[in-house]
Amino acid sequence: MSESAARALARMFGRMAEAIEAEKDHLSELDGAIGDGDHGITMSLGFKAVNKALAALDLDTASPSEVMQTAATGFLDAVGASTGPLYATGLRRAAQALAGRKELDLAACRDMLAAFSEGIRDRGKAQRGDKTMLDVWLPAAEAAATAVADGRSKQDFWKAVTIAADNGAAATATMVATKGRAARVRERSLGHLDPGAASAAALVRAMAETL
């Protein structure tokens, strides 16, 4: 392990920005069907801001928790919408979960995912099945917990997490939105993927690729 945990996290945020950039138009299109069509733009803005904030951080001395906290503040100050407070709260909680840790072992990744998804849930007051990003983050966090409990390898851990995330995103097409702006179209949201879930799945894949 030549790369420090702080650097690995910074690289993860870089990969997240790339993933969002690649999906930007697709995400806005998904949002246009059941929301207001800005999700791709909002997410792109947020992760660009995160990387800008991290560029000003000294990764040689910063702790993993500080990287997360910096990312949270960068995201919150740049992004309004619902996404700003939701992701900023998730990132803040992840920063708390990583406090005092130097290594990003699987237990740390599990705790980070758990704190992240709980932060989003507490801020947005949504649950599984509400057709939101939580339909990705909560199953991903659960898969992480199961994988650690089962003593899985790193490769299998991320495979399980990614599959749970992708399945969660796909399942949102069968749900009727009850939270957020898509809730306003109610039954008409049926059959459409939730844009927040789609971007969350892209973020989970970026995590799996870099951690």
Q: Which stretch binds another protein (CB under 8 A): 33-41, 50-58, 138-146, 150-158?
A: 33-41
Instruction: Return the residues of window 84-143 that contact another protein according to CB under 8 A.
Output: 84-86, 88, 123-124
Question: Residues 15, 93, 128, 179: which binds another protein (CB under 8 A)?
Answer: 179
Sign of the alpha-carbon torsion through 150, 151, 155, 157? positive
How many angstroms separate the Cα of 153 from the Cα of each of 34, 138, 148? Answer: 39, 21, 8
CB of residue 184 vs another protein: minimum separation in angstroms?
5
Cβ count within 10 A of residue 91: 27
Q: Which of 81, 114, 193, 197 binds another protein (CB under 8 A)?
A: 81
Applying CB under 8 A, among 79, 140, 147, 201 the residue interacting with another protein is 79
Residue 35 burial by CB count (10 A; 0-12/13-18/19+): exposed, middle or buried?
Answer: buried
> Contact letters (x/-) for another protein, 182-211, by CB under 8 A?
--xx--x-----------------------
> Least distance in Å: CB of 89 to another protein?
8
Nearer to another protein, 79 or 115 (CB): 79
Residue choice 59, 76, 160, 193 for contact with another protein (CB under 8 A):
76
Q: Among 41, 108, 145, 176, which residue interacts with another protein (rule: CB under 8 A)?
A: 41
Which residues contact another protein (rule: CB under 8 A)? 28, 31-32, 35-38, 41-42, 45, 76-86, 88, 123-124, 179-181, 184-185, 188
